[in-house]
Structure 1
Amino acid sequence: MNSRCSICLETLGEGNSPMTTLCGHLYCVDCATYNFASDDATCAICRRPHTLDELIKLYPDYERAKEGPSTSTGRLGVEAVGNDLLEACRTVLQKDAVLDEAALRPALARADHLVEELSEHEDDAPYIPNLLSNIIEVLTDIRSKFEQASCIPALEADRDKYRVVARKLSHKLKEAVRSREAERLRFGVELAELRAECSAQASELQTKLQETSSALATDRAKLEASFAVAKELDAQMKQCRTQAARYKKKYYALRKEHDTYRNGVEDAFFADDTFEIVD
């Protein structure tokens, strides 16, 4: 057995009479007597309140005695009581409420019965360590289950707290959903109005565009006609300029010819300077 005292850490074995609390922590008899002497004593490991009388003495006596004729009968009685205790402890392990008083009462009663049997058969020490080792193993399992069960209140408190938070968040979520739904409906109405307004403006602009396109086509036709007239007038103007230039040349040629004839007439008929032709 490698179990140690929870206070002095000495290996529990012959001579130090190990004892256990209901929470499953082990002590030697000296440390248990010192630690649980006062009325407000608590477990040195988990701080659960206990009294010295509530502790279970696992090994009442380790002294070996000479075997007598009653050894076989006493051993069978102790083994039967020990097996009953093991069975009661295993039954406790199978239940959800490990520290429930109703669940622990049969196991505690069988533990007291085992202590009485061990006290009456002190000479049966050779097989007692094996029996108590099995009991300690079961008690260790109970202690492990108790440590797990000790977390349940804190977990339940956290669960209740989270439920409250969840309810608040759920309420806020519902309010937010209702608010968003109202905003969505309001925005839907505004969007429909904007769509109607945009549709009306688009229709008006389309009408103006058609009118403008028609006017532009008319003006373009007029402009093209004006360009044609201007082109024709330009051609006529060029033709007139050409004719004017031709007429001008002809005019100067005729004038020159006229001047020549005039000078010839003057030379022929008016050689004398006394007769002067006045223009």
Structure 2
Amino acid sequence: MCGHIYCLDCATFHFSQADPFCAVCRKPQTLENMIRLYTDTDDGFTRDDASAMGEDDQLSLSPVSVRSIERAGEDAAGAVKKAIAGRADMDEALVACNTFVNSVTPRERAHINEELLRDIAFQLTLVQRVLKDNEVQVTRLKEEVQTARAAETKARLRIDQQRRLLKRAEKEQVEAVKGLAAQQERYDILYQQCIVATEDATRTRVRAAKAVNEFEEMEQEMKEWRERAAKVTKKYYALKSELKQLKQAAQGQPHRSRARSDDLEVV
């Protein structure tokens, strides 16, 4: 107890919340630990008169207090309804509801609306059902998490395998690049050799063309020489025939063998 004073309405409303504490000093406080004080009034009602009255009569003197307790219960029931609908935190709603139920004394319970108490009990039953459903969902989620973890483990194993294959492929790629560079170097050498061979072939074709031209010229000259030789031969035989006729005319008709010997001499 901290010693700070509250009216019954404020105390009932303030200390029925979750985690109640004194609004002045911020120390934890509950309704059960509070001490009810009675002051003198103008109409002559004193603490002795209040002590002589029954507890139910004392509570009935303050209908506002009853309404404050009922309002706290309605707030607790509303918090549970919101939590069931998903618009509030379930733990906070349960704390508020349990705090209200535990803070109401048996003598105060008789003056509270029965429908409110039944509504709170019904809401607590719904909360129990929701909690059971949540437990089923949690179990299902745990199974899904285990399945997901197993799938994740398989995926990691596959990823590791793919990484090893990737490293192997990278090594093969490096070797292929080196081989390609060597092939490119050999290709460049062969290309240069082809260029040189092409130039040599071009020069050879030029020389061959010149040789063909020279051969054609020589062939033309040989043809001319053959024609000239044919003319000379023809002229030779004509002169030979003429010479023979002259010899025959000068010597008369000679013997055949003699003529043959003359022919040989002329030749």
TM-score (norm 2): 0.51
- Residues 115 and 275 (structure 1 numbering): CA distance in 2 closer, same or farther, change over 3 Å? closer
What does 1:222-233 align with in structure 2 at a 5 Å threshold? 222-233=204-215
- Retained in 1: the 8 A contact 2:77–2:97? yes
Alpha-carbon shift at residue 214 of structure 1 (Å)? 2.2
Amino acid at match of 1:236: M
Query: By how many angstroms is 1:209 displaced?
Result: 3.2
Unaligned runs of 5+ in 2: 1-60, 81-89, 261-267
**Structure 1 portions without partners, runs of 5+:** 1-75, 119-130
**Contact 2:76-2:100 within 8 A present in 1 as well:** no
Q: 1:136 to 1:83 in 2, by over 3 A?
A: farther
Question: What is the match of residue 88 of structure 1?
Answer: 73
Task: Name the counterpart of 1:187.
Answer: 169
Q: In structure 2, do the counterparts of structure 1 residues 148 and 175 end up closer, same or farther at CA, with 3 Å as the change threshold? A: same
Question: Partner residue of 2:56?
Answer: none
Q: C-alpha displacement at 1:236, in angstroms?
A: 0.8
Contact 2:73 2:100 in 1 (8 A): yes
Equivalent-residue separation in structure 2 for 1:169 and 1:93 (angstroms): 43
The answer for the alignment partner of 1:263 in structure 2 is 245
Tell me which of 232, 238, 245 is aligned to 2:227: 245
Of residues 135, 139, 149, the one that matches 1:167 is 149
Change (3 A) 1:166 1:274: closer
**CA distance, structure 1, for counterparts of residue 191 and residue 120 of structure 2:** 97
Counterpart Cα distance in 2 of 1:251 and 1:188: 89
User: Match of 2:259, as an amino acid?
Assistant: V
Deviation at 1:193, TM superposition (A): 1.9
Query: When the two structures are aligned, how many residues end up with a matched partner?
Result: 191
Moved more, 193-202 or 142-151: 142-151
Deviation at 1:141, TM superposition (A): 6.8
Structure 2 residue aligned with 1:209? 191
The 1:225–1:274 alpha-carbon spacing in structure 2 relative to 1, beyond 3 Å, is closer
Name 1:152's counterpart in structure 2: 134
Letter in 1 for 2:73: A
What SS class does the counterpart of residue 162 from structure 2 fall into?
helix
One-letter code aligned to 1:92: A
Per-residue deviation, 1:269? 3.5
The one-character-per-residue Cα deviations of 1:49-105 (angstroms, maximum 9, x if unpaired) are xxxxxxxxxxxxxxxxxxxxxxxxxxx999987985574254034142599699468
The CA deviation at 1:218 is 2.6
For the structure 1 residues 147 and 137, does the alpha-carbon distance in structure 2 shift closer, same or farther, using more than 3 Å as the test? same
**Cross-structure match for 1:236:** 218
Q: Which runs of 4+ in 1 moved over 4 A?
A: 76-87, 97-102, 104-110, 112-118, 131-150, 273-277
How has the CA–CA distance of structure 1 residues 263 and 162 changed in structure 2, closer, same or farther, with 3 Å as cutoff?
same
Stretch of structure 1 that moved more, 168-177 or 143-152: 143-152
CA contact (8 A) 1:88 1:106 kept: yes
Measure how far apart 1:244 and its partner are: 0.9
| AA in 1 matched with 2:238 | K
Which residue identity does 2:214 align to in structure 1? E
Aligned to 1:121: none
Deviation, 1:278, is 1.0
CA–CA separation in structure 1 for the residues paired with 2:178 and 2:102: 86
Amino acid in structure 2 at the alignment position of 1:203? E
Partner of 1:278: 259
CA contact (8 A) 2:74 2:116 kept: no
